[in-house]
Amino acid sequence: MVEHYVVRSPEDLGRTIAEIRKSQNQTQAQLAAHSGMSRDSVAQLERGRQGRSIELLLRLLRRLGATITITVERPDGEA
């Protein structure tokens, strides 16, 4: 099963990260520990509050007529 998420804003990115994290039954603390980040940083990212450089990147991509698509491939039968 393949899922696609289109990211047009830092908020889109945050929601996507949260949705994928939750679908894998991970807490923010677990994701943070595996990523070398603080739980607070993960929480801010998921709320779209941490990402000035992400916002600038997305603005450049929109200006070029492009978007970011995140693709998550899951084994068949896995939700």
Instruction: Record the pTM.
Output: 0.78
- pLDDT at 48 (0 to 100): 84
Tell me the pLDDT tens digit for each residue of 19-52. 999 989 999 999 999 999 999 999 999 998 876 7
3-class state of residue 40 by DSSP = helix
Give the pLDDT band (50/70/90) at residue 10.
confident
- pLDDT at 30 (0 to 100): 96
- pLDDT at 49 (0 to 100): 82
Is 67:13 a contact under the CB 8 Å cutoff? Answer: no
Q: Which amino acid is at 39?
A: R
- Read off the pLDDT of each residue in 50-68 and give the average, rounded to a whole number: 82
